[in-house]
Structure 1
Amino acid sequence: MKKTLNILIGCLVVSVGVLILRHSHLVTGGTAGLSLSLSYLMHLPFAFLFLIVNIPFYIFSFIRMGWNFTISTISAVTILSLITGIDQWIPSFSIFPLTGAIMGGVIIGFGLSILFLNGSSLGGFNILALFLQKKLNWNPGKINFLFDFIVVISGIYFFGFLKGLCSILSIAITSSIISYYKNRIAATNRSEKVNLIKFKNATN
């Protein structure tokens, strides 16, 4: 129950950060950033695109990360999509890009860390970052930044150079916060693996 509540809190925190970036006309990384870029380009709701873009990663997650992690991730993505869906009913407003980059980066960083620490993610490149940490002990914050950087650089076409720089600042802040919790995230991954082995042994 506590784990479920923490995942809900993590989704709520990330959704606030995503909405801040959206109203700053900035982009974040990963599938969330890709979905934001597509929402600007295609004039479709972020929530709908976010669900669609993540489908291939669910398949990878099921094969490489296990059923429990995949279900938790799908639930987290669905919750985030539902929460951010309220944006269409929020009156239009704008946030200064630099302010939005800092606020959004910090909030998303803490939200993602909460999810990672509870054996969940927001799909997409989050799954790959956690997989590479689990298998190769790579820093999930730095891996996340690399994937996010690629998405943000491609998004500069939509936002312009200045807002692109602010977006890079935002993902750097997010990645720094995730990196701060990397040892605790690794410990969570090890604990999940041990519990899975115990469960398999008990059922054999």
Structure 2
Amino acid sequence: MCKSKIGNLYSVIYIIIGSFIYSVAVNIFLIPHKLFNGGLTGIALIFEYLFFVPTEVTTIILNIPLFIGGYRFLGKRFVYLSFVAMISMSVFLSLTRNWQIEVKDIMLASIFGGLISGIGVGIIIKNGGSLGGVNIISLLVNKFFSFDIGKTAIIFNFLLLCVAILFLDIEIVMFSMIGIFISNRVVDIIQMGFNRKKIIIIVSDLADEMAREFFQHIQRGITFLNGIGAYTGQTKKVIYMVVCTRELPKVREIAHRIDPNAFISIIDTREVEGKGFKTPNFVS
């Protein structure tokens, strides 16, 4: 129980930090140039530009029904942490409203606005929360209609851009698209990490010798799978292992040195959990 509470406390702290970073990016880079980002915050920014309603106010109003639905149908911890993120973001948007850094180039504002806001959102999502809005909508749609979460977010943001073109300058919308793309990429990088992992599958007559070399020089866990050649009907050992990208050249060197005829398949993997990699941390 104590460990669970400490884990939740750390998540809340990081989510508050992420909300602060996101709010600074919005007030310093986006609002001065009337740029907007994706999700309900993007709608709130458009409302501010058109009707002078503070972004934080519109964000809270739009999210209230979503949090009610999310609390009923989604995990309570996710909704709780997302509520913390939304409230802290609204507070920080208000507190940092008058913070200014003079950035005259709208392209630079779009790039750095997307970069820094992406860092903030990435920290929030990494710690089990969200800024509400599209995240909750996507999860609810997925739950009831089995529609892909990522595709729901893409469709929502596409519709948002289409509506924005009707009310805002086309160049503003185009620069905003650049910021949204950068922000999404940064969020992905934070979730997956900079050091991507690779699944290695090797079919070789010298699998045992190769495995010994891998143990000695790379020190990663290896699993032998039993394979049968469809054409030859011969049984062969298949090496299955996961390595970091930086270890890949060494894997290739060892494999080709021992068996130049080895069949090697290298597959990108988004996430790996277990001994030697990330330890799963499930906090309810």
Amino acid at match of 1:18: V
Separation in structure 2 between the aligned mates of residue 10 and residue 143 of structure 1, nearest angstrom: 24
Corresponding residue for residue 10 of structure 1: 18
Offset, 1:149: 2.8
Matching of residue 45 in structure 1 with residue 69 in structure 2: no
Q: Tell me the residue number matched to 2:123.
A: 114
Structure 1 partner of 2:64:
55
Give the structure with the larger strand fraction: 2
Partner of 2:153: 144
SS of the equivalent of 2:49 reads helix
Q: Residues of 1 paired with 2:86 and 2:70: CA distance?
A: 13
Question: TM-score, normalization: structure 1?
Answer: 0.79
Per-residue Cα deviation, 1:90-138 (whole angstroms, up to 9, x for no partner): 4696643211111111111121111111110000102234567899695
Q: What is the aligned counterpart of 2:42 among 33, 37, 49?
A: 33
Total equivalences in the alignment: 191
In terms of fraction of residues, the more helix-rich structure is 1
Larger Rg: 2
The C-alpha deviation readout for 1:162-199, integer Å capped at 9, x for no partner, is 11100111111112222332546x999x854xx54xxx
More displaced 10-residue stretch of structure 1: 11-20 or 145-154 = 145-154
Q: Is the 8 A contact 2:24 2:96 kept in 1?
A: no
Q: What is the CA-CA distance between 1:28 and the residue it aligns to?
A: 0.8
Q: Counterparts of 2:72 and 2:65 in 1: how far apart (Å)?
A: 11
Provide the aligned C-alpha RMSD in A.
3.1
**How far apart are the structure 1 equivalents of 2:166 and 2:147?**
34
Q: Which secondary structure does the structure 2 equivalent of 1:13 belong to?
A: helix
1:66 and 2:89 aligned:
no
Contact 1:23 1:93 in 2 (8 A): no
1:86 aligns with 2:64: no
Q: Which amino acid aligns with 1:23?
A: P
- Runs (5+) with no aligned partner, structure 1: 197-204
Secondary structure class of the residue paired with 1:54: helix
Residue 89 of structure 1, CA deviation: 4.0
Give the equivalent residue in structure 2 for 1:202. Answer: none
Structure 2: how far apart are the matches of 1:137 and 1:116?
A: 20
Alpha-carbon distance, 1:37 to partner: 0.6
Q: Is the 8 A contact 1:149 1:168 kept in 2?
A: no
Identity of aligned residues (%): 26
TM-score (norm 2): 0.59
- What residue ranges of structure 2 are gaps of 5+ in the alignment? 1-8, 193-269
* Range with bigger deviation, 63-72 or 84-93: 84-93
User: Which of 1 and 2 has higher RCO (CA within 8 Å, sep 6+)?
Assistant: 1
